[in-house]
Amino acid sequence: MNAPGKAVSSEKQASVTLPWTEMAEGGLVPRGGTAASVKTGAWRTGKMPVIDLSRCIHCLRCWIWCPDSAVILDGEKVTGFDYDHCKGCGICEQVCPPKVHAIQMVPEGVEG
């Protein structure tokens, strides 16, 4: 049985053109890591985080707390945010140490 190539949760996946006889049984997605292909950040709260890397101390609290794995690291250094998956919840801004204050939530579309 051919399985859908990608998560079936996006409206724009080629896999959901398959006939019912070829789709994975019970709507299961028969592979891991498919959430990366679904751009959950297509809509947000209206705010987005921006980071001032000159202030960042790379304590990685934002990376630990982010519920959408939307903090991008290079090794152990924060390099920015994955806006394809960030929902704009603002937790990263809250957990960034007050004395550091590297992260700010700004209205959608405004670059930091």
Partner 1 sequence: MGGVNGHVVTQRRRMTMTGAEATAEAMRQIHPDVVAAYPITPQTDIVMRFARYVSDGVVQTEFVPVESEHSALSAVVGASAAGARAMTATSGPGFALMHEILYVASGYRLPIVMPVANRALSGPINIHGDHSDTMGSRDAGWIQIFSENAQEAYDNLIQAVRIAEDPSVRLPVQVTQDGFIITHGMEIVEVLTDAEVQQFVGTYEPERYLLDVERPMTVGALALQNSYFEVKRQLAEAMVNARRVIADVGEAFGRLSGRYYGLTEPYRMNDAELAVVVLGSTAGTAKVVVDELRNRGVKAGLVKIRVFRPFPAQNLRDLLRGTRAVGVLDRSDSVSGGLGGPVFAETKAALYGLPDPPVMTGYVYGLGGRDTTPEMIESVYEDLAELARRARDNYAEVVADAALAGHYLGVREPGQNGSPHRHGAAKLGER
- The binding site for partner 1 (CB under 8 A) comprises 7-9, 11, 16, 18-21, 23, 25-34
Q: How far is the CB of 25 from partner 1 (least distance, A)?
A: 5
Q: How far is the CB of 67 from partner 1 (least distance, A)?
A: 17
Token pair of 95 as six digits: 């957990």
Using the minimum distance from each CB to partner 1, give the nearer residue, 7 or 100. Answer: 7
Q: How far is the CB of 33 from partner 1 (least distance, A)?
A: 8
Using the minimum distance from each CB to partner 1, give the nearer residue, 37 or 104. Answer: 37
Which pairs with CB-CB distance under 8 Å and at least 24 residues apart come from 26-35?
A: 29/4, 30/3, 30/4, 31/3, 34/6, 34/7, 35/7, 35/85
- Three-class SS state of 77: strand
Using the minimum distance from each CB to partner 1, give the nearer residue, 12 or 99. Answer: 12
Q: How far is the CB of 78 from partner 1 (least distance, A)?
A: 27
Using the minimum distance from each CB to partner 1, give the nearer residue, 10 or 104. Answer: 10
Contact predicate 25/44, CB 8 Å: no
Q: Which residues contact 8 (CB under 8 A, 6 or more apart)?
A: 15, 16, 23, 27, 29
